[in-house]
Structure formats: structure tokens, C-alpha cells
Amino acid sequence: MTSRDNPVGNRQEGFHFQVVGIGASAGGLEPLEELFTNLSPDLEMAFIVIVHSDPSHETLLPGILARRTKLGVHKARDGGSIQPQCVYVCPSDSIITIADGKLRLTPRPRNREPILAIDQFFYSLASELENRAVAVILSGSGSDGTLGLREVKAKGGITFAQNAQTSKFFSMPQSAFASGAVDFLLSPKEIALKLGSVANHQYVKTKVPAENDSEQNDSEQNDFNELIVLIRKGSGIDFSLYKHGTVSRRILRRMALNNISKLSDFHTFLTKHPQILNDVAQDILIQVTKFFREPEAFDLLKEKIFPDFVRGRGREDTIRVWVPGCSSGEEVYSILIALTEFLEEGGYRFPIQFFGTDLSESAISKARDATYVENISQDVSTERLERFFTKTTQGYEINKSLRDLCIFAKHNLVSDPPFGKLDLITCRNVLIYLGLTLQKRALSIFHYALKPSGSLILGNAETVSGVGELYIPIDSRYRAYVKKPSTSRLYFDFVGAHQTADKISTTPPVVAIAESASQSIQMQRDADRYLMAEFVPAGVLVNDQLELIQFRGRTGPFFEPSPGFASLELLSMLKAGLVSEVQNAIDVARQKNEVVRREEIAVKLEGDIKRITLEVVPMPLPSTGERYFILLFEDMDAPTFAVSKRRRQLKLSANPKLDETHELSAIRAELTSTKEYLQSIKEEKEASNEELRAANEEIVSSNEELQSTNEELHSAKEELQSTNEELLTVNEELKLRNHDLSGLNDDLSNLFNSFNSAMVLLTRNLKVRRFTPMAEELLRLIPADIGRSIADIHPNVEIKDMEKMLQEVIATSRPKELEVKDAQGKWYSVQMKPYRTQDGRVDGAVLLFTDITQLKTSLIYAEAVESIYSHPLLVLNGELKVKRANKKFYEVFKSTPSDTENRYIYDLGNKQWNIPELRELLEKVLPQNSEIRDYKVTHKFPNIGKKTMNLSGRRLFHHDVATETILLAIETVD
């Protein structure tokens, strides 16, 4: 089952046509033109176009589209009506929605925050038109429209998105498609043609069945039942006990997508295309949810539910929460975030475990991925986004610290064993789509799974009716309940998640119920036929356990309720005097499997001695092997009842008085015989009863012990089943994580093996965690050194106080860098950096050696060239600061390194180098030409007098200004 929003009433009745919402952004103009060019003007549809545009400029789109279509194109206005065969374009400075059958425009905010105008319109479109809503996403960047498209599909509408081959910007259609909300991924031309076929389907022309509607003729009902069986075989999900209207709506929608009108034709289509069966099942499992849906419900959690979690709880006692029907996980993470905030505000620390389950494998996969479109910023506050989410290129990702607290698994709510010992179950808006039988079963399972003080939260349209004795309401508005201790144990016939669909009984529950009902009706008809044949005397129908099933005729004289606990047990309700005869007759009928008749039974009824005829008729039920009995009672003295053939023959005798005397004598003799027979039976039974009474007391005592043991075994079995299911779920989760870890480990190994520098990863206590192949030779490492302290290893490069520096790096989180030389004369740049975990915690250090021998040699060579150069030379950086000068410069211009290096050239010698011609050279000429030669400058220096200089300069390019180098050679001319 999957989380769903509350159903909205059939508001689409105000529209007899479809309304198509079209959203586009970057690159959307061309597909809009192509779509309307190929769109038939005769379609009974209205079109509303929303395009991301600059709110400060009026849109030209109405005029552009009017040249491409014969449909009427209008600029949308607030309060305007919606007519078919018209196109309404949203103004660029407004946000458009539909309410009460009218267009509604609101001013668009002028701030720079993203406005999800397409989502907002699709939400209103789904709410107003339900199955007559159509949503289209064309080219654009971002994810606007994704959540709205999901809402349209959930309400029964039809959805389209532009394919990648024709989209200039595919991120908007891609986001919608990845969410599973797109029915058709087509080009704009194909979308136009498909809209034509969809518009003519009966699905959008007639009222869709309501949730509880089940009006179908016999033929349609048979076709529907066959479809349910076919879907169950193909997907493993049994929808026979879901609400009829829910399943009918989703099947009709799928028929519209495939342009099929009859259920029988759709059955044939699915038989030929069994791969679509799972898609049909996923359609029925409506997947609509969002973060912090109904915020007031989360206030209830913090005020009434969460405080019970921490009251009297031990530090090691895990808080366990189950969200069945979790869809793509938004509800799970929302509750987890709210719980985390509550615990941190109160200073509590307890282990937490959340279970999210759903029948949809694709939904569970999305929940595990924990990545959501950026549109969730409409439902999640900025503070929560910064604290619990990480911004990614796809949108927002749940932080790993929260994700690791959740287990997601495919799970059937009403057939798989539940999780146990739960503090909270939230099952909002799942039960509304289940029939009463499944609702009661699910609620009973929830009662079993909860702790004695556990809580249950349902949706606004759901209640615990039918099992109200199991729960105590704590908030009627948000359907919050606490578990009430049950006086009797609940037993469930769980199938288990590990069993496949073909192992489940092939007879759907609804068919089994129908067969059982049919057998019961047939048995009653057989009973009626026999009673009618025998002039319908008073009688009862009992089962093999002598429980009363049905009364026939006037049975009052023979039965009366016994004092004490109410019971329909036959022998306890018979009048005194009939018990032994009835029991004896039933025993004989059971043993011989034939009709047993007892005549002339004298019994005191209603104050008089009556003569009764008893007849016991065994009636086996072949389909089940059970046996029933019909008991017929006939008052021989009652004039309104039929009498036996023997008495009728006596009444027809020629001498009535004589016959009456003979009859009276016979009756008296028979009565005496019967009394003697009864007395002997009574004495035998009393003796047997005495012997059995003692044995019975021992048996009762043993039975109570066995019953107690049986109860404990049942309880242990159910707990083991739940634990096993939990372990299977955890095992599945661990397999997925192991697979991911294996892939990451392979990536890391390949990265290390291809890394051309020596790098060592160390733990907090400076033990070797991992190293690259280059580090093996330089640091004398072997695989067995993993786990050893770096202090125990003697590398080829000696670094003084290396351990101390590494510990400082870990303690201060500040990197260190130095240059060292090995015994062979090679130079290395050594970098010591903190090793950080994914959540930013420092958990060790990274030691990196980079060979800089060539660079060092180049620098030494450059310095040598500078020193022997016969003219003054300056080396400047990109900011015109002096990096160094050669010896000739200091001799000619009477300066020193301390007055020259790391200073702006214009500030040298009391700004005597602040020469306009030099500024012209360095700031204008050189940046444009990169190299300049013999640029003549004449200047009078305070210390050395007037000098005429030929300046030559060259820029050495780097990736940034700070590392850029400028060479400035100065040739003095006397």
C-alpha cells in the first residue's frame, strides 16, 4: 500500500470537457509552436499555458501561438471562465490557478526566489478536474511541475512530458519522468496527436466511479473479477478486497491510456502483453505524498505522542516507528526530522529505528535513494533544509546520519508479518482505499505490532470502526489513537515476504467468500426442500458440533434459552425431557448416517404431557466434508400439525371407539417401555459420569496447562515471524549497501593505483589506514603495514618531528606543508592535511608527497641565470609586487633586498619608481602585448641622478593573478 492524499469530491462535474495544463521553461517556445501546429482545432479541450518568463516584461506568447493554431488564444484574466477550444496564456507577472471553475490570478512576487508556478497550477488542476485533468511538461531547466504532475496522475488525470530527443533543455521533463508520474514521453507533435485520441475516450466523457461505487451488470462484474485475478497473477498483488471504486477508476484510466473501451478487450490486451500487468498494479497503488503534509499533525506528534516515547524509557531502549504505505519516503523522513528535533530540544538521547514499507518496488527504491527535487523547498523550511539536507545537482539529499536510521522494504500490509514492539505506526490515507475486511485486518495487525503504550495515527478520512474496542482515541481531529490492551489474542495467517505470489492460494479471498456463501445457500435450499416435502414441521438445523444454525417453524415449545452465558448450543437450549432422546438420536444418525425417527416421546411441555415425534436427518456438505443435521419436532396432540401415517390409518378405521381403546393401550405399553429404557440409560450414564468426572478434572487441569503453553508458543511463533521478517528486510538492506560499498571500494582502489604521488591515509592515532603504490617505495611500506603506527616505519625521506606535526594537524584541523630532500637528492613537497568524514568530523590525517625535484632544479637554474645577467632584472607577480631582483639591480640603483622584495614596484625607494611611463608599460602596454622590448624611459632618481633606461618586459601566464610572473629587464643608457 502506498500513502495517498485525501480524496477530493467530484468537482470535475462542473466541466464536461478536459482541461490541459502545459508548462514550459527554457527552450519551450519551439515545442509550444510545434504542439499547437499539430493540434486539431475540433478537440473538446481547453488549454492553459504557463511559461517561466521575466515578470517585468509582458509576454508575446499569445500572438505567437495565435499564428500557429485555429483555436482561440487569449491572455488569461482573473475570474475568467474556461471554454473548450480555447487557449489561455498566463501573464508573465502572475501566478495562475483554477478555483470553483474559474481562472484565478495572483501577482507574482518580485523577489528572486524561485516561483514554482507550474506546480501550483497543476495542483489546482488536479483538485478541480480529477480524471478530466491533463498535464504536459515541455522543455525547461529545473524541476518545476514534477510534484504537480504526480498529483494530477494520482487524481486520475493523464500526464505527458517531452522526450530528450526533441528537448533543448531536458531537466524539467527528466525530473518528472524520474518521479514515475509521466504516462507518455513523446515529441510535441506526438503529444498533440495523442491528446486527440485521449479526448474521445469514455473515461473523460463520463463520471468516474466513486470510491465505494460498485454498480456493474453481471457481465461487467465477471470481466472485472477476471481482470483482478489476471493482475494478481502478473504482479503478485491481490486487489479483490480493495474498494471497488478505487480499482475501477485506475483500470479505466489505464484503458484510456491504451485507447481501449471494454473490460473484456482490456483483459485480452493484458493477456497478450503481460509485461503491462505490473504497470496496472502500480497505477492502483497511488503514490502521492509530500514532506510535512498537514503540519498540524506534526504539532500533535510533538505535543502528545513523542512525550510518551521518552517517559520511563531506558537509554538503550530503541524508539521504533513504522510507516506502512510510505511511498517514496517523504512521510518517514518528516516524522524522523520532527522526532530528532524533539529529542534534541529536550536533551534526550535514545537509539532510533524507522521502518518504511510499501508494495511498490520503485517507490521503495526512491525512498532508499533519499534524493528529492528542489521543489520540496515549498514544504520544508529553510532551517530544516540546511540542517537535514544536502544540496545536490538533482535537488536535495537527506543527510546520511538520518538515512542510516531508516530501513525501507517491499511489504504487503495485510499478508506479510508486521514489525513488532513499535512505539508508533502512522498509516495516513492508506485504509481509505481498502475494503472493510482488509481495514479490520490491518487495524488488528497494527494492534498486535504496537507496544502496550504504542500510538496509531490515521488519515483524516479514516477511523478504527469495526475494531474500536482495540484502541483509545487521543485526538479525534487527526485520528490519533493509543493501543488498548486486548482481552483475547489475535492470530494472523501471514504469508511472509519470502513467499512468491505463485505460492499463495490461487483463489482470491473474494472468490473464496463467494464459494462459501454459495455452498451455505445450497445447503439451506436442500433443507427447505426436505422440510417442504414433510409438511414443514417445527425444526432446527445444527452443525456437527451441535451448534444451532437455523430455526424453522414454531420451535418455541421445544426450546428456551438457558440461564447464564448466552449460547446457541443445542443441548443447553432444549426443554427438559428432550435432551437424552435428542442426543441419543443424533448419535445413532451420526454413526449410521441415516435418518433416525423416535415416536411417541412423552415430555412435559407448557404444563401438559405431550406426545412428540422426533426425526434426525443427517445432511453432509460434499464440498467441505462437513456434516449438518436437521431435527424435526412434531406434537402428535396438536390439531394443526400433521401426524404419522400409522395414526392416519387408525383414524380411518371402521370402529373409531375400538380403535381408540387399542391405541390407548399401545401408547401406555410403549410409554412404560420407554420409561424403563430411559431409567436404565440414566443409571448407566450416572455411573459413567462419576467415573468420567474424576478423569475430567485431571484433564481440565492438564488442558489449562497445555492451553497456557500453547498461548506462549503462539506468541513466540508470531514474535519469531516478525523478527524473521525484520531480519530479511535488514539483510536485503545490507546486501544493497554491501553492493554499493563494493563499488566504492573498487573505485577507490583504481584511484589509488593510478595516483602518481605517494599518499598515506592515517587514523587519529597515526596508524596506517591505506596508501598508494608510489608510497610503497618512498616510505618503505608493505601491505602488512596497514594498522601499524607511522612511527614504526622508517621511510627513505626523513622528516623531523613528523608525528608531532601530524598530531597538530589532527588537533587544529590546519594543514601543514614543507619541503624535504631524500638521500638521493630528490626534493619533495610534503603536505599534511586533516582526514575528514562525510559529516565533517576529523578522523585522522592525510600525508602527501609530491616530487618537486624538476621544479626545484628549474628555480635554481633561474636564480643562477638572474645572478649572472649583466643588466638589472626584476621579477614581479601579477599584483606588481617584487618577488626578487638580481645583484646588478641592487648595484645600479643603490638598493637592498629588504627594501625591495615583497613591495609594490611603485613604492620602491620612497616611490621613486612611481614613473608615469613605467605605469603605462606595466598596466596598459604589457597586458595587451604580453611582451615589449626597448621601451625607453627617462627619469631622475634621487640617489643616482638622471637615467635613461630601455625597458623590456614579458608576462608568464598562470591560472590566476597571484601566481602570474612578470620579468622586467632594465638597460641603462648613460
Strand pairing of 371-372 and 758-762? unpaired
Helix (H, G, I), strand (E, B) or coil at 116: coil
Give the single-character DSSP code of 293.
S
Q: Residue 707 corresponds to which amino acid?
A: Q
The answer to whether the CB of 179 falls within 8 A of the CB of 149 is: yes
Q: Clarify whether 144 is annotated catalytic.
A: yes
Q: Clarify whether 52 is annotated catalytic.
A: yes
Q: Clarify whether 218 is annotated catalytic.
A: no
> What does the alpha-carbon distance between residue 57 and residue 487 come to, in Å, rounded to a whole number?
71
> What does the alpha-carbon distance between residue 744 and residue 734 come to, in Å, rounded to a whole number?
15
State CA 641 to chain mean position distance: 68
CA–CA distances in Å: residue 98 to residues 154, 244, 348: 18, 30, 46
Q: Which three cell numbers stand for residue 428?
A: 495516513
The answer to whether the CB of 373 falls within 8 A of the CB of 150 is: no
Q: How many residues does the chain have?
A: 974
> What does the alpha-carbon distance between residue 459 and residue 296 come to, in Å, rounded to a whole number?
12
The secondary element (H helix, E strand) that includes residue 341 is helix 330-346
> What does the alpha-carbon distance between residue 759 and residue 756 come to, in Å, rounded to a whole number?
9
> What does the alpha-carbon distance between residue 586 and residue 595 come to, in Å, rounded to a whole number?
9
The secondary element (H helix, E strand) that includes residue 135 is strand 133-137
The answer to whether the CB of 248 falls within 8 A of the CB of 202 is: no
Name the residue with cell 601543514: 816
Q: Residue 640 corresponds to which amino acid?
A: T
> What does the alpha-carbon distance between residue 147 and residue 180 come to, in Å, rounded to a whole number?
11
**Catalytic choice (52, 201, 267, 447):** 52
What is the distance between the terminal CA atoms of the chain, rounded to a whole angstrom? 96
The answer to whether the CB of 214 falls within 8 A of the CB of 263 is: no
For residues 47, 137, 143, 322, the Cα torsion angle rounded to the nearest 10 degrees is 90
For 664, phi then psi, to 5°, come to -65, -40
Strand pairing of 395-398 and 842-851? unpaired
CA angle 14, 18, 23 (to 5 degrees): 120
Question: Following DSSP, what letter does each residue of 895-956 receive, concatenated?
Answer: --HHHHTTSBGGGHHHHTT--HHHHHIIIIIHHHHSEEEEEEEEEEETTTEEEEEEEEEEEE
CA–CA distances in Å: residue 961 to residues 235, 336, 878, 907, 954: 64, 49, 5, 20, 15
Q: Residue 805 corresponds to which amino acid?
A: M
Of the candidates 301, 229, 298, the one whose C-alpha atom is nearest the C-alpha of residue 267 is 229
> What does the alpha-carbon distance between residue 884 and residue 873 come to, in Å, rounded to a whole number?
9
**Catalytic choice (124, 127, 139, 144):** 144
Give the single-character DSSP code of 430.
S
Residues with Cβ < 8 Å from 599, sequence gap 6 or more? Answer: 613, 644
> What does the alpha-carbon distance between residue 972 and residue 947 come to, in Å, rounded to a whole number?
7
State CA 282 to chain mean position distance: 13
Helix, strand, coil content of the chain in percent (nearest 5): 45, 25, 30
> What does the alpha-carbon distance between residue 773 and residue 794 come to, in Å, rounded to a whole number?
17
**Catalytic choice (3, 5, 25, 244):** 25
Q: Residue 248 corresponds to which amino acid?
A: S
For 890, phi then psi, to 5°, come to -65, -35
> What does the alpha-carbon distance between residue 904 and residue 887 come to, in Å, rounded to a whole number?
19
CA–CA distances in Å: residue 537 to residues 150, 378, 613, 811: 66, 75, 10, 100
The answer to whether the CB of 5 falls within 8 A of the CB of 156 is: no
Active-site positions read 25, 52, 144
